[in-house]
Amino acid sequence: MPITPETFDTFLRCTTKSHLTFNGIVGVPSEFSQSHAYIGQMYKQKGREHLCSVVGDHQWHTGTPDLRSLESLRYRLIFDYVVSLPEIHARLDALEENRIVRDGRHCPYIPIRFVPEEKLTKYDKLLLAFDALAFSQVCGKAPQVGRIIHGGHCATVTVRLEPLLQKVRFLLGRIAEQQVKAVPPPLTLNKHCPECEFRSRCRQIAIQKDDLSLLPTLSEKERKKQNGRGIFTVLQLSYTFRSPRRSAGVLPRHQPALKALAIRKNQIHILGNPTVRLSGTPVYIDVEGDPDRDFYYLVGLRIGSCGSSAHHSYWANTPADEQTMWADCLHKVAEIADPRLVHYGAYETHFLKTMKTRYPDVEHASLLDDLISSAQNLLSIIYPHIYFPTIGAEDEKYKAGDAHALHQCEGTRAER
């Protein structure tokens, strides 16, 4: 089977998914993957229009011209060029005339890839190098550079391809090896699982195997270390927990073995003495944003305790509305007597510091230093101290909890 950009990208993200796809296993596409594919197609059209706006109608072509047309540089731009060979198949987003070096020793065109996201990843650059390698199989010369057009403003990034081409060749060799093997690779849950069409299948297998990757806080490096010790399951890991020595004033480290023990005993375990210090009026804050665009679009506040509370939400429909959203939110906080922010995770901490820098002249900005210094991050208490008997994605449901959960934990205190 020829290797395509899709199979190459799949292998980069998960070898198990690559094996299943090659063997014709059909999964259930996630809404995320379907949405991402649609956005990608729409952005390709936008990218084409962006490039065509700077050349004449007769200077671009859609399709796959013959080799003579390529060598004579008949077109400045070529879209949807197809490479169809027994070992590799690709449909390139675009090719651009190589205007930097024009001689017979160099590739006449350089590849262009359209990426909707504002921030590029290593996968985007490797896929560009894959396109370059596929094109080199036709014209006999590998492009030295390629370009990625990305983001809402069609920013252009030039990428050196030589070091990436070496890695692509290595990865293509590994993919070819996988395709001739009947034995599937070891199944490991990873960060790609939530958007994968095989997520339910793999999770069920991992649960049946009691695989260590069910513990998301156990890194790949630590899993391999445990495997080297003969520990392959959560159950086995649970028997390795030993209460760590603690120094005064030093937070305990997160203990995956204690997490495994909590799962085995089906009890919430508490390590050390977690303490929530809430004075004044608690203001529970939750922020949503688009990290790719560095834009915050929603701040939610819950003011007061469960006995008497009020909810407020502040929206920004566009990045231009962000300052108004923040000013309205800060104005509400300023009306509260002795406010103390409570949140879950570092995202809100980063948000507050960003707002302080981004909008220093907004009304009530002087409150920020005190709000930041007195804010209570519940995750910093839960993560090193409290271990719930849950596995994998089920841990996410505890992100909805608040300070009251800390007083409702019934289980075994692992160590005082």
Are residue 272 and residue 260 in the same domain, yes or no?
A: no
pLDDT of amino acid 397: 36
pLDDT of amino acid 399: 35
pLDDT tier for residue 294 given thresholds of 50, 70 and 90: confident
pLDDT over 90 at 250, yes or no:
no
Are residue 199 and residue 117 in the same domain, yes or no?
A: no
Supply the CATH number for residue 83's domain. 3.90.320
Mean pLDDT of the chain: 88
CB atoms within 10 A of CB 396: 11
Could you write out the three-class secondary structure of 167-195? Answer: HHHHHHHHHHHHHHCCCCCCCCCCCCHHH
Which tokens belong to 173? Answer: 């060799």
Are residue 224 and residue 342 in the same domain, yes or no?
A: no
Are residue 16 and residue 158 in the same domain, yes or no?
A: yes
User: What is the helix, strand, coil percentage profile of the chain, to 5?
Assistant: 45, 20, 35
Mean pLDDT to the nearest integer, 267-281: 87
pLDDT over 60 at 406, yes or no:
no
Residue type, 211: D
Are residue 156 and residue 230 in the same domain, yes or no?
A: no
- Between 411 and 187, name the one with better pLDDT: 187
Are residue 236 and residue 306 in the same domain, yes or no?
A: no
pLDDT over 90 at 276, yes or no:
no
pLDDT of amino acid 292: 83
Residue 210: inside a domain: yes
Are residue 320 and residue 220 in the same domain, yes or no?
A: no
Are residue 262 and residue 272 in the same domain, yes or no?
A: no
What does the pLDDT look like over 211-247, one tens digit per residue? 999 998 899 999 999 999 999 999 999 999 998 876 6
Q: Report which DSSP code applies to 218.
A: S
- Between 124 and 181, name the one with better pLDDT: 124
Mean pLDDT to the nearest integer, 111-125: 95
Range of the domain at 263: 193-242+251-267
Residue 274: inside a domain: yes
pLDDT of amino acid 103: 59
pLDDT of amino acid 99: 77
Are residue 207 and residue 174 in the same domain, yes or no?
A: no
Question: Domain ends where: 155, 180, 205?
Answer: 180
| Count of structural domains, the chain | 3
Q: How far apart are CA 354 and CA 344, in angstroms?
A: 17
Strand-pairing partners, residue 95, are 78, 111
Mean pLDDT to the nearest integer, 154-163: 95
Residue 277: inside a domain: yes
Q: How far apart are CA 124 and CA 12, in angstroms?
A: 11
Residue 187: inside a domain: no
Are residue 93 and residue 225 in the same domain, yes or no?
A: no
Are residue 302 and residue 407 in the same domain, yes or no?
A: yes
Residue 80: inside a domain: yes
Mean pLDDT to the nearest integer, 301-319: 87
Question: Domain ends where: 151, 180, 209?
Answer: 180
Are residue 275 and residue 399 in the same domain, yes or no?
A: yes
Residue 188: inside a domain: no
Q: How far apart are CA 14 and CA 196, in angstroms?
A: 9
Residue 128: inside a domain: yes
Residue 186: inside a domain: no
